[in-house]
Structures are given as structure tokens and as C-alpha cells.
Amino acid sequence: MKKQIITAILAIASTSTIMAQEHQNKKHHGHGDGKPAHSANEYMHKASTDDLINRFESKERDEYQQPHKVMEYLGNIQGKTIMDIGAGTGYFSVKLAKHGANVIAADVNDEFQTFLKKRIEDNKIDNITLRKIPYDSPDLKDNEVDMVLIVNTYHHIDNRVEYFAKVKKGTKNNGELVVIDFFKTDVPVGPPTDHKVSIDEVIAELKKAGYTSFEVNVDLLPYQFIIKAK
């Protein structure tokens, strides 16, 4: 597995299909980059929750998301407490749990939480806890988790510097934040390019939130970058 450690040069971005459905009825504040939140959300509003559920759990997503590679990248997570922000249908929450993590599946959307609750019950999964979170906070206790994973959701969080300062406070001293999102280029998946966020913006915002160490992998996934921040 080839890994390239870089500073913030390559332009990338993210889309939060997880958080978009309820977000359309919420008064939007500026993103961390100072741009209005509504433009990217409007892109997602074209899809119903049922459509999004089907999309999140599709074979097409498996092909580009390559979750087996992501899980290998995360390493040994047995016994770790991990919050999956924007958990949605539980696409990654279930995989994290299968690998032995104690998962907090966090989302702002009641419909996704209801779907995931049934999924947990049907599959008798006992190491996933649901957590309905507000838009402006991960709702973490101090030093509560070993890792926070956020996939395709970064762009739709308002006031990101403040938000991720709370994420950092809720993560243990030796813990980490892992952000996975789409490159800011014309790729076959994700939102339109102008709805994305560049990697230098992500790094700059996380620095302001208190993170000091960054590892960026641009080789693992075909359409997405991975940022590991501490």
C-alpha cells in the first residue's frame, strides 16, 4: 500500500449526504471557509432519504469507497471507542464494529438513526451506540473517544473551526481524527466540483481548531483523500 505524506497542496473536497436532508430546513451559518452552506445542501436535496439509503449501501459505492482498504488503513481498532460522524445508514459504523471497535454512530437525521437502529437490532450488533447530535456539536464528552471518523461529511458542517475544536476536546490525547472526502476535481462521484473544499482549507481549519500533526494519503482511494489529524 503506497502512502504519500504531503502538506496541503492537492485540492480535494467532501459532500455530506448524511447531514443534508434535515439541513434544508435549518437556518444556515457560514462554513469555515466563509461561504454559504446552502449551495452544496441544495445539491443533496434532490434525493429523498430512501434514495440516499439505497445509494449509501450500493455496490457502486463499494467500488469507489473500497471500505476494505479503509479498514486496513485504520489498523487495529479492537477495543477502541470510535465516533462515526455522519454515520447515516451505518455503512462504516457496522464495519468498525465488526473489527472490534465500540462505535458511537452519530448523525443529525432521525430517519437515518431509525434505519440504523433497525439494522443493529436485525443483525444483533451490541457494540454500536446511536447518538443524535446537533448541527453545531459532535456532542462528545471530554476525552471520550480514541478516534473520530468523518466520511463525505466535512463540507456540510457549519463553523468548522469551532466544531472540530469540540471534536479534538472529545478525543483522547493520543487519539486522532480521520477525514475521508472527495478530491476537488471532476470525478465520477460526489458533488459538483464547486461544492467541494480544497485540502489546504481543510488543513488550515483544523490547525485553527487545535490540530498540529497531519498525514495526508492521496494514493489509497481512487476519488478520495484521507487526512489523519492529531
- Does residue 210 lie in a domain region? yes
Domain contains 197: yes
Over the range 143-178, which residues count as b (16 or more CB within 10 Å of their CB) and which as e? ebbbbbbbbbbbbbbbbbeebbbbbbebbeeebbbb
pTM for the model: 0.80
Residue 4 lies in a domain: no
Residue 5 is assigned to a structural domain of this protein? no
Nearest to 116 by CA among 130, 102, 127, 103: 130
Q: Within a domain: residue 134?
A: yes
Domains contained in the chain, number: 1
Return the sign of the alpha-carbon dihedral for residues 140, 94, 216, 9: negative
pLDDT tens digits for range 167-176: 999 999 999 9
**Domain membership of residue 154 as a residue range:** 20-229
The CA distance from 125 to 112, in Å, is: 17
Q: Is 9 inside any structural domain? A: no
Of 45-49, 97-101, 191-195, the one with minimum mean pLDDT is: 45-49
The residue behind cell 434514495 is: 51
Inside any domain, residue 15: no
Domain with 24 in it: what CATH number?
A: 3.40.50.150
**Confidence band of 190 (pLDDT split at 50, 70, 90):** confident
| Whole-number pLDDT of residue 135 | 95
